[in-house]
Amino acid sequence: MMNGRRLALMQILDSRKKYTARELAERFGVSMRTIQRDLDYLQTIGVPLYAEVGAGGGYRALPNRLMPPLQLNQSEALGLFMLLQLLELVPDFPYGEIRSHLADHYYSSLPLDTKEQIDRIGDHLAFIQRAAVIPAPWTTLILEAAMEKRRLSFDYSSSGGIKITQAFPLGLYYEQGCWYVPALKDERTLLYRADRMHNVCKLDATLPELQTMKEWMKQEDDRERVQVSLQFTPFGARVAQTDPDYDLITDDRWEGLVPHQELPFLARKLLRFGPEVRVLQPPALRSLVAGLLRQAAEQYAHDEDVTS
């Protein structure tokens, strides 16, 4: 049976220092024999202890996998299950075991009325988000490798076919239903998609001086930028206001700095607004947008007489 002393013992050993049975016995005011029996018990319930016998020996615990219990109140529990609902939209979440632990084990241990409330939340709360259908089962492994700054080997399928690749992942990020992996390969940082990676495995090589993804993202933000100014129609402005890409300064005009490399990407984005936006600056973006529009319109050229 788990009593207070055994719990405390577990936590003391978690500090990863070494303790002799005598020290522990004195600390708790019990006999050494009792301590030994406690340690026995802890081992049987799975706490990873080990002992060094002989002079200078003692007991230690491996980095412990048993966390202290989390005691929530009802509204915190409700919040947790709402969070779980949000999680449903993010497929292949790393360390995703938490999902089933909460949904199955913890849920069933809750009081009945709390369960009812949780069930009812589902009727009244939703998160609308593009959920990817493409599975990316290796996210946990990739994240682990990034945290250990360890090299990965994987098969990567791109338009050119499948290639076995090795790279150091910087981290993992989720955007619009997709997991992306910036990774260092041969001195260059490339962006991989996690769902196109297969047979991922960690290699032995590590690179301690590897930058973190956080640093990389910051650096990406610092690239050369171009002044862009857009003019929306009143309707376009209303649409744009609900799109957080554009923080409108005045009602119908947007000004901002955009990395030079992203102009083609921005041009495609602006297509969405069709006639509701006009590019004032820079000319390069003007012609990109105009070019795309012309190409698109050509597809419908022979419809002209019908629609006009």
Which of the residues 139 through 168 are near its own copies (CB under 8 A)? Answer: 140, 143, 146-147, 159
Q: Which of residues 190-219 bind its own copies (CB under 8 A)?
A: 212-215, 217
Residue 173 binds its own copies (CB under 8 A): yes
Taking CB under 7 A as the rule, does residue 60 contact DNA?
no
| Interface with DNA, residue 52, by CB under 7 A | yes
Rounded CA gap, 238 and 276, in Å?
A: 10
129 touching its own copies, by CB under 8 A:
yes
Determine if 211 is a binding residue for DNA (CB under 7 A). Answer: no
Is-contact 260 223, C-beta < 8 A?
yes
Listed ranges 17-25, 62-70, 100-108, 131-139: which one lies at the site for DNA (CB under 7 A): 17-25
Q: Does 53 bind DNA (CB under 7 A)?
A: yes
Q: Is the dihedral of CA 83, 88, 89, 93 positive or negative?
A: positive
Selection from DNA, its own copies, none that 57 binds (CB < 5 to 8 A by kind) is DNA
By CB under 8 A, which span of 27-35, 37-45, 107-115, 219-227 interacts with its own copies? 107-115
Query: Residue 302 binds which one of its own copies, DNA, none, with CB within 5 to 8 A depending on kind?
Result: none
Q: Which does 203 bind (CB under 5 to 8 A by kind): DNA, its own copies, none?
A: none
List, as own/partner pairs, every contact residues 14-18 make where C-beta atoms lie below 8 angstroms and the sequence separation is at least 24, other chains included: 14/61, 14/64, 16/60, 16/61, 16/63, 17/60, 18/52, 18/58, 18/59, 18/60
Instruction: Specify the pairing of strand 161-169 against strand 225-232.
Output: unpaired
- Confirm or reject binding of residue 43 to its own copies (CB under 8 A): no
- Cα–Cα dist 131/67, whole Å: 32
Interface segment toward DNA; rule CB under 7 A; list 57-65, 76-84, 128-136, 152-160: 57-65
Compute how many residues bind its own copies; rule: CB under 8 A.
Answer: 114
Which partner from the list DNA, its own copies, none does 187 bind, CB cut-off 5 to 8 Å by kind? none
- Which of 142, 135, 137, 155 is closest to 183 using CA atoms? 142
> In which residue are the tokens 């005598």 written?
22
Give whichever of 39 and 90 is closer to DNA, judged by the CB atom: 39
Q: Give the nearer residue to DNA in terms of CB position, either 52 or 76.
A: 52
Side by side, the strands of the sheet bearing 253-259 are: 253-259, 225-232, 277-281
The distance from CA 108 to its chain's CA centroid, rounded to whole angstroms, is 27
Structural tokens at position 195: 């769902």
* Interface positions with DNA (CB under 7 A): 1, 3, 5, 19-22, 29-34, 36-40, 51-59
